[in-house]
Amino acid sequence: METNNYLIETRGLTRRFGSQRAVDDLNLLVPAAGVYGFLGPNGAGKTTAIRMQLGLIRPNAGEVRLFGQSLNGNHRSLMRRVGALVEAPSLYPHLTGRENLEVTRRLLGSDRNLIELALATVKLTKDADRRVREYSLGMRQRLGLALALLNNPDLLILDEPTNGLDPAGIHEMRDLIRRLPDEFGVTVFLSSHLLGEVEQIATHIGIIHEGSLLFQGTLAELQSKQQTQLTVGVKQIDGATEFLVNTGWSVQRCADDLLNVSTKAPDDAVRINKLLVDRGLDVFHLAVSQRSLEDIFLSLTKGRSS
């Protein structure tokens, strides 16, 4: 029984390679259910952190806890509840997809019916009896994901699962990962540098840069910390600009004679519209936009590179 609601918890996790700190005092809290997107550019420390979570390398300091228990001393029992796809899956190209799954199933001692369930989940049932050497890269990645599901895990850890895929393959993998929590009952911890892709599927987000965690929380919490952009179209643009600035708003004039007003919440659009109309100004356009996850990430990491 879990002592808390976090499937992954790291405390002060640190890993050095020589004088370089690949992971620096990392404190992750990954809640049960949903998809946790672990975001950062290549070289940020994502794979090193994942390898420590799986017990593949030891930290220089700190602790990994899975399902409320320390990984140290409980590795074998905890790993029975974890599925993982780290880098490219190890497959036997001369065997069929089904035969690859059978080899792993025997090693795990899993039930035979999990093979068919995993094939159906990753949509490879029709191609299960083809040799893997005939598979596309996207099909191989999906087969690797099926292998990770064979022990019916509570937690699935995926390291850059869309690496090398074409747009169609990325779309397939993204839709599959989005379905896993509901259809397989598994919590997904997903590392990626593809911010736009993760933005579409993650329920929680951690942003890592140069080994340090810059943000952790829900996407809504991240966006709430950032300014909302309001685009305003008004006939008396000079008067509107002067009035809004004098009222305390940050205003920039666009090339197409629209105004960009920095606000803190979408509801500010109602206030600004009322102020302008009450002032006798003719508003003909209002549009609220929040910054994409990519824009927010860039602002968080700006100036932090060594």
Q: With bands split at pLDDT 50, 70 and 90, how would you rate the model's confidence at 1?
A: very low
pLDDT of 268 higher than 60: yes
Task: Give which of 276, 286, 222 is closest to 249, Cα–Cα.
Answer: 276
Q: Can you read off the two tokens belonging to residue 207?
A: 């942003």
Contact between 103 and 92 under an 8 Å Cβ cutoff? The reply is yes
Report the Cα–Cα distance between both ends of the chain, in Å, rounded: 43
In this prediction, residue 210 carries a pLDDT of 94
The 10s digit of each residue's pLDDT in 187-225 is 999 999 888 888 889 999 999 999 999 999 998 888 776
User: Which stretch, 85-94, 264-273, 296-305, has highest mean pLDDT?
Assistant: 85-94
Q: With bands split at pLDDT 50, 70 and 90, how would you rate the model's confidence at 251?
A: very high
Contact between 229 and 291 under an 8 Å Cβ cutoff? The reply is yes
Residue 201, judged by CB atoms within 10 A of its CB (0-12, 13-18, 19+), counts as buried
pLDDT of 176 higher than 90: yes
In this prediction, residue 3 carries a pLDDT of 46
Q: Can you read off the two tokens belonging to residue 175?
A: 């839709």
The 10s digit of each residue's pLDDT in 29-87 is 999 989 999 999 889 999 999 999 999 999 999 999 999 999 999 999 999 999 999 98
In this prediction, residue 223 carries a pLDDT of 72
In this prediction, residue 7 carries a pLDDT of 97
Q: Can you read off the two tokens belonging to residue 79?
A: 């790993």
Give just the sign of the alpha carbon dihedral 261, 263, 266, 271.
negative
pLDDT of 2 higher than 70: no
Q: What is the mean pLDDT of the chain?
A: 91
The 10s digit of each residue's pLDDT in 118-169 is 999 999 999 999 999 999 999 999 999 999 999 999 999 999 999 888 888 8
Q: Is the pTM of this model over 0.85?
A: no
In this prediction, residue 227 carries a pLDDT of 67
Domains and CATH numbers, the chain: 6-223 (3.40.50.300), 227-290 (3.30.70.100)
